[in-house]
Amino acid sequence: MRERWLAVVGIGEDGVDGLSPAARRLVAQAAFVVGGRRHLALAGQLSAETLVWPSPIENALDVIEAHRGRPVCVLATGDPFFFGVGAMLMRRFAADEMICVPAPSAFALAAARLGWSQQDCALLTLHGRPLEAIIPHLQPGARILALSWDDATPAKLAALLAGRGMGRSRLTVCEAMGGLSERVRTTEAQTYALDNVAALNTIALEVVVDRGARILPRAAGLPDDWFEHDGQITKREIRAMTLSQLAPARGELLWDVGSGSGSVAIEWMLADPANRAVAIEARHDRAARAARNALTFGVPALSVVTGEAPQALADLPTPDAIFIGGGAGAPEMIERAIVALAPGGRLVVNAVTLETQAALVDWRARHGGELTQIAVAHAEAVGRFSGWRAAMPVVQWRLVKS
């Protein structure tokens, strides 16, 4: 065990009074204390050398490391390892160099004020992230605790909810929890009129959904008309079967080659918040459309690469799965995809034309895998009666790399 020279202490609005005896000792014994202006003020009179977090905050890491071996204390809000500076520090320093004494997190304080069980809530941060990231969590009856970016976040969230048919949802804005200036106010999204909101606030949201509101289902196969597209989209039923074959698991990365509207990549990311995807699209207008769709569906982290495959695949991180929906007959693309996959990775290729379907038969003969033909028909009016209108059949090849 190395000497634990780096202390990370969570501090709340009640300042030193809320610190445990152990936390007080770590602050008092430190030769160097780092924190935001608010944290340093809450800590009271300090005899140590101090540093206010610079911008960007990562610039402080070299300064902290220069004090290695001396007692250093980093002050943070609440629980430093819950959407706090703890993760950033861990990227530079080892766990056995640190000692952390957390204070109650903003989530814990907000849940305590409202009498909510944290295990029944979605806990997320909107700080430094697009507001749309909350969309996948907007489910009927959901309770969400979210750290705001600034004083305007609650009003922006209220407008988003009202625009999605969730105007009766209740927002509780919690400010300065645990301090003398604590304030907790509740309003419906559609009548939001709170003023003078503190920049540092936490939102507790109870989602109420009106009939007709757009709720993202948990299963794959979102309606085609929910996506902005120009016809270049993997249709709903085919998309659902494609995602089943891609088999997304938590934290995995997908390459969606010939992405079009981005529908497959978007649903891959919706399968789990930790999932990542790269949409590769040759046309600039379609690439921009995929990015807009990603924002609409609450997965703004979708990476969109504009360029022709396979050249555009160079230097991309190793994927766990690859989907090719266009240009499936190009031999160099298939070879590049198979080489790029990690062991156990899945390649799924969809083909509509006879030429590309024949190519998939050839690839299966060379590499193995599974071939499936998918035929879908919808009932449509035929005069006074109804009949089946068949879509073009799709041949799907799936390969699991050994």
256 shares its domain with 303: yes
The DSSP result for 315-371, as a single string, is TPPPPSEEEE-S-TT-HHHHHHHHHHSPTT-EEEEEE-SHHHHHHHHHHHHHH--EE
Domain final position from 206, 234, 258: 206
| Residue 216 domain flag | no
What CATH number corresponds to the domain at position 146? 3.30.950.10
27 shares its domain with 158: no
Report DSSP state, residue 393.
Answer: P
293 shares its domain with 393: yes
| Residue 240 domain flag | yes
Neighbour count for residue 228 (Cβ, 10 Å): 14
In the chain, what's the furthest Cα-to-Cα distance?
A: 88
Indicate the helix (H) or strand (E) that contains 240.
helix 236-246
| Residue 218 domain flag | no
Place of tokens 């503190």: 198
DSSP helix/strand/coil, 298: coil
The runs of H, that is alpha helices, within 137-199 are 153-163
Residue type (1 letter), 276? R
The DSSP result for 203-220, as a single string, is EEEE----TT-----SSS
DSSP helix/strand/coil, 64: helix
What CATH number corresponds to the domain at position 71? 3.40.1010.10
* CA-based nearest residue to 14, from 4, 24, 26: 24
235 shares its domain with 115: no
Domain final position from 172, 206, 240: 206
- Specify the pLDDT at position 326: 63
Say if residues 292 and 132 touch (Cβ distance below 8 Å): no
HEC per residue, 93-133: CCHHHEEEECCCCHHHHHHHHHCCCHHHCEEEECCCCCHHH
Q: Which residues of 97-107 are buried (b: 16+ CB within 10 A; e: fewer)?
A: bbbbbbbbbbb
pLDDT tens-digit series, residues 171-208: 999 999 999 999 999 999 999 999 999 999 999 999 99
249 shares its domain with 198: no
329 pLDDT exceeds 70?
Answer: no
179 shares its domain with 245: no
Say if residues 203 and 215 touch (Cβ distance below 8 Å): no
How many Å separate Cα 62 from the centre of its chain?
29
Say if residues 81 and 15 touch (Cβ distance below 8 Å): no
Domain count, the chain: 3
334 shares its domain with 283: yes
Taking the C-alpha atoms of residue 390 and residue 86, their distance in angstroms, rounded to an integer, is 56
278 pLDDT exceeds 80?
Answer: yes
| Residue 212 domain flag | no
| Helix, strand, coil tally for the chain in percent (to 5) | 35, 25, 40
| Residue 214 domain flag | no
| Residue 354 domain flag | yes
Say if residues 50 and 56 touch (Cβ distance below 8 Å): no
pLDDT tens-digit series, residues 103-137: 999 999 999 999 999 999 999 999 999 999 999 99
DSSP helix/strand/coil, 312: helix
pLDDT tens-digit series, residues 217-231: 999 999 999 999 999
Helix count (H) and strand count (E) of the chain?
11, 19
pTM confidence score: 0.91
Q: Which two tokens stand for residue 274?
A: 């930790």
321 shares its domain with 196: no
Confidence of residue 1 (pLDDT cuts 50, 70, 90): very low
Q: For the residues 295-320, what does the mean pLDDT come to?
A: 95
pLDDT tens-digit series, residues 35-69: 999 999 999 999 999 999 999 999 999 999 999 98
Say if residues 7 and 35 touch (Cβ distance below 8 Å): no
154 shares its domain with 229: no
Burial of residue 166 (CB within 10 Å: 0-12, 13-18, 19+) is buried
| Residue 53 domain flag | yes
381 shares its domain with 256: yes
Q: For the residues 348-357, what does the mean pLDDT come to?
A: 93
- Specify the pLDDT at position 153: 98
12 shares its domain with 119: no
What CATH number corresponds to the domain at position 385? 3.40.50.150
- Specify the pLDDT at position 331: 78
270 shares its domain with 306: yes
Confidence of residue 325 (pLDDT cuts 50, 70, 90): confident
Neighbour count for residue 190 (Cβ, 10 Å): 15
| Residue 215 domain flag | no
Domain final position from 103, 125, 155: 103
Between the two ends of the chain, the Cα-to-Cα distance in Å is: 40
3 pLDDT exceeds 90?
Answer: no
- Specify the pLDDT at position 156: 98
**Structural domain of residue 46, as residue ranges?**
6-103
